[in-house]
């Protein structure tokens, strides 16, 4: 029997040898067959027959299926909001804190190797589209025009308090909110919102809108109760499409996105332990709720792993228990989160061999560095000490140590059980404000919650100030005062004509003699307050006082 390859070669041999007549006859016959089949098929048509016996179709009555998803969406959906932010052009000061994405979804999340820095393309995608403030022009030079970004949030108080991600509103000059019940009008930005407080350590922010009527709210759940494999729904505004729902399961718990450490080696995200889910999360979902089958919010959608600018089934949500703790502090009088610290640093994760060799195979944390002049240093804690308990409670790892100590109030004391050189010791160690402790390490620069005195009015007023020099004060015949060093374009100060270089001597009839008095007055201001500045112009030393004022936007 001749093989197919030999037959093919024979056909091509006959063609090449000039036996074209037979070949073309065969091809023509095949073509006629194909055409005939097409023509015959094309002639098929409906016959004129009597169809009086055919029964017409009817639309059946609606049937309520046993689908718990739709019932959950009806409960939660009205409290999920769309957030629009606008950032006005300004001269860059320092690079903002970009959210990093994990490079390898299968990698160990706790190695602490700084892999989360990611390539710039992924960071740009996240910051432009997932709610952040990055994008063209964001890192250098004067920007051409206002930048806008989208995100999601959910109402937790009928008076209009909303939880979202900090990176959604970070650096925004204007924040607007659209409720699910608001008309889908592209020309309307939505209701103006006020920033109540933010916590960069957990990427959580609280904003508020005014409403004459009580607003719908979500029910918060306990994230400790979730199990891997539980069904969840993600609700938000992906790609600007409002009121979008996706379903999936809990894929993992206690995930981290490693972003490395700051200049002092302090982890920038040590308070971030995420719920991982395969529910589709896309750009714009950021800040929206992750809901369980009891219609309770058990997480806030915060980040995604992506190589395609879309969902790849790996999303991360901040657990609700963390959200609740942070929210309760942000709505407090100081509108900031205070965490305790004893002033020690340690490696995020070690090989099990380290524990066996150094004598803490059953749990503990080996101290890599002690913050100079911090509580631990004053109590006598040393590098290579192994912390095995706090107040008599065993410590398994660094995450547990952070969780216990950060919950302590500054000014309190804890009993540390340590192993040093094989001997067990107990030390009484004070707890201090973590923010202030590491601000001192940074040379007095507070990178997390509180502002420098000169920047206290930047968010509300749009200005930064510095103490007026003695020479300038003498030149314009005043004692003290603060000088405006910068004015944010489009801000309250810019709109009322308060310019750079002006010397402020009074605010609302209260004397401004230095930064402390300036800070005291500005921190007492609220949206809707009338604000009047008494200023002097150093270019006109004999011009006397000028009065510049306006009403802070709601």
Rounded Cα–Cα distance for residues 93 and 203 (Å):
21
Rounded Cα–Cα distance for residues 553 and 250 (Å):
42
Fold annotation for 340-441:
Pdz3 Domain (2.30.42)
The closest of 153, 255, 259 to 205, measured between CA atoms, is 153
Q: What's the token pair of residue 364?
A: 């503990």
Give the count of beta carbons closer than 10 Å to the beta carbon of residue 191.
16
Kind and range of the H or E element at 161? strand 161-165
Rounded average pLDDT over 412-437: 91
Rounded Cα–Cα distance for residues 281 and 475 (Å):
60
Give the residue, 518 or 25, on which the prediction is more confident.
518
Rounded Cα–Cα distance for residues 439 and 373 (Å):
13
Kindly list the catalytic residues: 167, 203, 286
Does residue 88 sit in helix, strand or coil?
Answer: coil
Does residue 534 sit in helix, strand or coil?
Answer: strand
Q: Is the pTM of this model over 0.85?
A: no
Rounded Cα–Cα distance for residues 419 and 358 (Å):
10
pLDDT 10s digits, 242-253 = 889 999 999 999
The closest of 403, 396, 343 to 370, measured between CA atoms, is 343
pLDDT 10s digits, 90-143 = 554 433 333 434 333 333 333 333 333 334 333 333 433 344 444 333 334 444
Give the residue, 95 or 217, on which the prediction is more confident.
217
Rounded average pLDDT over 228-249: 90
Q: Which residue has the tokens 């000028």?
A: 546
pLDDT 10s digits, 182-215 = 888 878 888 999 999 999 889 999 999 999 999 9
Rounded Cα–Cα distance for residues 239 and 234 (Å):
14
How many CA atoms lie within 13 Å of 371's alpha carbon, on the beta-carbon side? 23
What are φ and ψ of residue 515, in 5° steps?
-65, -35
Rounded Cα–Cα distance for residues 517 and 445 (Å):
20
pLDDT at 94: 39
Q: How far apart are the first and last CA of the chain?
A: 91
In CATH terms, are 219-330 and 340-441 the same topology? no
Eight-class DSSP state of 267: B
Rounded average pLDDT over 455-472: 83
SS3 per-residue string spanning 12-80: HHHHHCCCHHHHHHHHHHHHHHHHHHHHHHHCCCCCCCCCCCCCCCCCCCCCCCCCHHHHHHHHHHHHE
β-pairing verdict for 147-157 and 161-165: antiparallel
Rounded average pLDDT over 314-330: 93
Rounded average pLDDT over 473-479: 88
Look at domain 70-89+112-208 and name its CATH class.
mainly beta
Contact 96, 134 (CB under 8 A): yes
Rounded Cα–Cα distance for residues 323 and 202 (Å):
8
Rounded average pLDDT over 174-187: 88
pLDDT at 129: 37
Fold annotation for 219-330:
Thrombin, subunit H (2.40.10)
pLDDT at 438: 74
Q: How confident is the model at residue 520 (pLDDT cuts 50, 70, 90)?
A: confident
pLDDT at 82: 94
Eight-class DSSP state of 524: T
Q: Is residue 469 predicted with pLDDT exceeding 80? A: yes
pLDDT 10s digits, 348-385 = 667 788 888 888 888 889 998 898 889 999 999 999 89
- DSSP structure string for 368-426: EEE-TTSHHHHHT--TT-EEEEETTEE--SHHHHHHHHHTSPTT-EEEEEEEETTEEEE
Residue ranges covered by each domain of the chain: 70-89+112-208, 219-330, 340-441, 453-551
Rounded average pLDDT over 488-496: 86
Rounded average pLDDT over 524-533: 89
Q: What is the CATH number of domain 453-551?
A: 2.30.42.10
Contact 381, 367 (CB under 8 A): yes
pLDDT 10s digits, 75-88 = 999 999 999 998 87
Give the residue, 87 or 423, on which the prediction is more confident.
423
Residues in CB range of 15: below 8 A, 6 or more apart: 23
């Amino acid at each position: 029997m001749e093989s197919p390859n030999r037959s093919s070669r024979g056909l091509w041999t006959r063609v090449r040898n000039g036996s074209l007549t037979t070949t073309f006859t065969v091809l023509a016959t095949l073509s006629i067959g194909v055409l005939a089949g097409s023509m015959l098929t094309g002639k098929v048509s409906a016959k004129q027959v009597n169809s009086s016996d055919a029964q017409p179709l009817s639309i059946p009555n609606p049937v309520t299926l046993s689908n718990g998803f739709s019932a959950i969406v009806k409960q939660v959906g009205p409290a999920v909001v769309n957030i629009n932010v606008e950032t006005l052009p300004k001269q860059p000061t320092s690079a903002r804190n970009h959210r990093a994405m994990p490079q390898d979804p299968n990698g160990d999340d706790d190695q602490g190797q700084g892999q989360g820095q990611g390539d710039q393309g992924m960071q740009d995608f996240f910051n432009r589209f997932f709610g952040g403030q990055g994008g063209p022009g964001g890192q250098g030079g004067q920007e051409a025009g206002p930048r806008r970004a989208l995100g999601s949030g959910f109402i937790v108080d009928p008076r209009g308090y909303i939880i979202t991600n900090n990176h959604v509103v970070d650096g925004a000059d204007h924040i607007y909110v659209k409720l699910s019940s608001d008309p889908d009008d592209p020309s309307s930005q939505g209701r103006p919102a006020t920033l109540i407080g933010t916590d960069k350590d957990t990427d959580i922010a609280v904003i508020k809108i005014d409403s004459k009527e009580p607003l719908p709210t979500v029910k918060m759940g306990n994230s400790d109760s979730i199990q891997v494999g539980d069904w969840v729904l993600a609700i938000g505004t992906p790609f600007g499409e409002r009121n979008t729902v996706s379903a999936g399961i809990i894929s993992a718990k206690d995930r981290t996105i490693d972003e490395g450490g700051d200049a002092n080696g302090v982890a920038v995200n040590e308070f971030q332990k995420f719920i991982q889910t395969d529910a589709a999360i896309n750009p714009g979902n950021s800040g929206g709720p992750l809901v369980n089958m009891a219609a309770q919010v058990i997480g806030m959608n915060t980040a995604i792993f992506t190589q395609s600018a879309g969902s790849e089934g790996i999303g991360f949500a901040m657990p609700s228990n963390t959200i609740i703790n942070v929210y309760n502090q942000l709505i407090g009088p100081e509108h900031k989160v205070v965490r305790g610290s004893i002033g020690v640093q340690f490696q995020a994760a070690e090989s099990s061999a380290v524990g066996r060799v150094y004598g803490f195979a059953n749990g503990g944390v080996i101290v890599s560095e002690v913050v100079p002049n911090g509580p631990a240093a004053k109590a006598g804690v040393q590098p290579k000490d192994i912390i095995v308990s706090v107040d008599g409670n065993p410590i398994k790892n660094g995450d547990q140590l952070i969780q216990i100590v950060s919950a302590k109030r500054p000014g309190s004391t804890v009993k540390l059980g340590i192993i040093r050189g094989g001997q067990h010791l107990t030390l009484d160690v004070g707890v201090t404000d973590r923010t202030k402790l590491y601000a001192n390490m940074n040379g007095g620069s507070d990178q997390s919650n509180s502002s420098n005195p000169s920047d206290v009015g930047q968010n509300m007023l749009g200005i930064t100030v510095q103490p007026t020099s003695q020479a300038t004060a003498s030149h314009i015949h005043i004692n003290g005062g603060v000088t405006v060093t910068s004015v944010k374009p489009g801000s309250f100060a810019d709109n009322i004509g308060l310019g750079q270089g002006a010397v402020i001597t009074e605010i609302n009839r209260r004397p401004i003699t230095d930064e402390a008095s300036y800070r005291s007055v500005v921190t007492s201001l609220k949206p809707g307050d009338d604000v009047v500045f008494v200023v002097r112009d150093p270019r006109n030393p004999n011009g006397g006082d000028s009065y510049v004022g306006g009403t802070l936007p709601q």
